Amino acid sequence: MPCVTNMMILRTTTSSLCDSSSKISNVNRFLPLSAFRATATMGVMWSRNASGKSSVSGFSSKVKGSEPIKHTSTYVHNQHAKEIVIEEEEVVVMSETDSSFESIPGVPNPLGVSKTENGINFSLFSKHATSVTLCLSLQDSGNDASPNDEMIELKLDPHVNKTGDIWHICVLELPLRNVVYGYKINGPQGFHEGHRFDNTVVLIDPYAKLIQGRKIFGDVKNKFSKFYGTYDFSSLPFDWGDNYTPPNIPEKDLVVYEMNVRAFTADKSSGVEENLRGSYLGIIEKIPHLLELGINAVELLPVFEFDEFEFQRRPNPRDHMINTWGYSTINFFSPMTRYASGGGGPIAARLEFKQMVKALHLAGIEVILDVVYNHTNEADDKYPYTTSFRGIDNKVYYMVDGNGELLNFSGCGNTLNCNHPVVMELILDSLRHWVIEYHVDGFRFDLASVLCRGTDGSPVDAPPLIRAIAKDSILSRCKIIAEPWDCGGLYLVGKFPNWDRWAEWNGIYRDDMRRFIKGDTGMKGAFATRIAGSADLYKVNQRKPYHGVNFVIAHDGFTLYDLVSYNFKHNDANGEGGNDGSNDNLSWNCGHEGETSDANIKSLRFRQMKNFHMALMVSQGVPMMLMGDEYGHTRYGNNNSYGHDTTLNHFQWGQLDARKNDCFRFFAEVIKFRQKYRVFRQEYFIGKKEITWHEDNWNNYESRFIAFTLHDDDEGDIYLAFNAHDYFVQVPIPSPPLQRRWFRVVDTNLESPNDMVPEGVVGIGDTYNVAPYSSILLQAKP
């Protein structure tokens, strides 16, 4: 997720809530709703009849003998409200054939929208609300609903439409699709008690399965468009195919490719049709690239609905930015609408996400989602962006302190109250939804240490949510990966509560590998420990080497090319005066800051990139690499590029073509070599039987050379050496096993294609002269 300047626990300050100055200029502008066959353009009123059903007047035949009475009706325009008073007699002048819009109390479960025999049931949790109003809008035709200028309001009766803390209503004869909806909610106004109710805002249902808003990513004309829930009960079930099965790849065999859906094909150089660029379907077009690279799992940056224009809602130093990473969730159930092709809308997004998953699965590639349950888009109290949870029940959904102020362990203004029973169930339901409905294979939890905090923000030894995810029957087949830290200082690498199920991003691996390969002293022992699977961190109880996800590069921070090209971050384009992003990158520019024409420096940089990749792929545990590193993508030193929908983040397919025969070739061949030989993918932690360290000088602080042999009687031994000195090291090569001889497979000092020869090159003598800042891999073969 994007880095923040202040990493301490933050509390937001109070300010005025959302502007409610928007007014309706003409109450008679209410659009006719063909689904109800209404002919008048008058108001909507809530009433009860003798049968116990409720109806919305204004769409019904005249009631014989009824007394003229006044009813209050509220029209909603641009998520703000204005009350008007009309007479019953004004309504009944409508045609006698107009149909009735009726409802029954409905049921509390399931939460969200569901189809019943009688109609469409709406159910919403709010413990502290004193009034709840369902807002509906329909469109005449088309595949996707979109809000009209006004919405129909149905105020729920707490004596009839409430069970415990759940508000519910079943609306009869509603269409099965083409409806958008939301809620207006009122409640206590005690700010210092943690409440943030504002009944002028139409709020998104936390359990909405689809979200309607702007349809085109980055569409400036609709920058301030609102977001609503919608549903679809009329589409046929998705055809996964009779012979379809998920890949079910063992964790020890994974090679993870962290990537961004939009950035992967958004650039014209992708060659993808314009309407497919930056979409779920765009990924399908590029599956051949993923297969050629050799990875077998993609870890998608957030694909839950988010607002890419959230930085532009008010003047601020970041108001030129577009959120392209997506770490700012609006809703936890809906796929990002604007990743649908050609502005297809939410129903198309749902379909195309499934098509993407199916295509990846058929190619043998698993789908892991980067999920953000630590905070939402609703920001802080100074500049709130109220769209859902804040206005529904802030005190339940967010952590607040004793003064009712938001706690901020996420660095983004709020912290989801993950271990509150209601919020915990929401998260579990969301995860199950993505597994059952979309067939995803696993999840990487952003700032997962937040999920280890109690409702007061204090750390919990056995967090209920973490345990529930580990033990859940539906989630049992999934990969579950924690980013084991947060912005409040809760660093849990190697100590994350796990129940022998949770894996972790190994941040210590990243730091130790960077320091050793760039030539820091005193790192040889740490490097060896990381290569061997980080037993110091994960050899506890029944944990395995694959519970550590090894990485050198991830989405936040430098790319691999920038890691070897910049000593300092260059984040001026972000508008925060260089105060964002990490200052401690453990990088080395190889002698010049940024771009250079010096051939020696460029050669050294490429060698270092190969060293990092090789170390990653021969380490025990699960390797993860970043999209674009296979060709040397640069962000020109920007280590926090979350807000740039440009070439800074977009995959550059032309550059890939230019590096296809050197950088890409090396990366792909090393990945495939790892996949071919089990010696790199051990189920259990390795010991003396599996590895020999050719080292008798562990305590030499200045030593930056290490060599070892991985043993496998069937497939053949593998000898590896890493030299982080700035001079050649002539190293003795151990004798190969009987009836075998050494073949050189990798020498990162050589130029392509000799730097990686999968079948190996014969002629290895008793010694090998390992070049400065290089690594070698030898294989014992008959």
Tell me which residues are annotated as active site: 446, 483
DSSP bridge partners of 767 = 732
**Burial (CB count <10 Å: 0-12, 13-18, 19+), residue 381:** buried
Measure Cα distances from 137 to 43, 60, 186, 310, 379 in Å.
Answer: 14, 18, 20, 24, 27
Measure Cα distances from 772 to 594, 648, 726 in Å.
Answer: 22, 32, 5
Tokens 């107009």 found at: 98
d(CA 619, CA 755): 19
Q: Which residue spans within 417-519 are E strands per DSSP?
A: 442-445, 479-482, 503-505
SS3 472: coil
d(CA 90, CA 590): 81
Whether the CA torsion 689, 690, 694, 697 is positive or negative: it is: negative
d(CA 129, CA 158): 10
Q: Are 422 and 415 within 8 A, CB to CB?
A: no
Strands 622-626 and 756-761: unpaired
Q: End-to-end alpha-carbon separation of the chain, Å?
A: 49
* Angle between the N-to-C axes of helices 599-618 and 665-676, in degrees from 0 to 180, rounded to the nearest 10: 20
Measure Cα distances from 222 to 204, 302, 647, 734 in Å.
Answer: 18, 22, 23, 67
Q: Which residue spans within 268-356 are E strands per DSSP?
A: 297-300
Strands 774-781 and 718-723: antiparallel
d(CA 578, CA 556): 15
Q: Are 453 and 410 within 8 A, CB to CB?
A: no
Alpha carbon 81 to its chain's center: 34
54-57, long-range: CB < 8 A, 24+ apart:
54/102, 54/103, 54/104, 54/154, 54/157, 54/160, 54/169, 55/100, 55/101, 55/102, 55/103, 56/101, 56/102, 56/103, 56/152, 56/154, 57/88, 57/91
| Residue 465, both tokens | 């949510």
Angular region, 693: left φ>0, alpha ψ -120 to 50, beta rest: beta
Q: Which residue spans within 382-525 are E strands per DSSP?
A: 407-408, 442-445, 479-482, 503-505
Whether the ω angle into residue 158 lies within 30 degrees of 0, i.e. cis, is no
DSSP bridge partners of 761 = 744
Q: Are 358 and 364 within 8 A, CB to CB?
A: no
Nearest to residue 169, comparing CAs of 223, 215, 211, 108? 108
Nearest to residue 183, comparing CAs of 146, 208, 209? 208
Dihedrals φ, ψ of 634, to 5°? -120, 145
186-189, long-range: CB < 8 A, 24+ apart:
186/129, 186/130, 186/131, 187/126, 187/128, 187/129, 187/130, 187/131, 187/393, 188/128, 188/130
Q: Are 497 and 465 within 8 A, CB to CB?
A: no
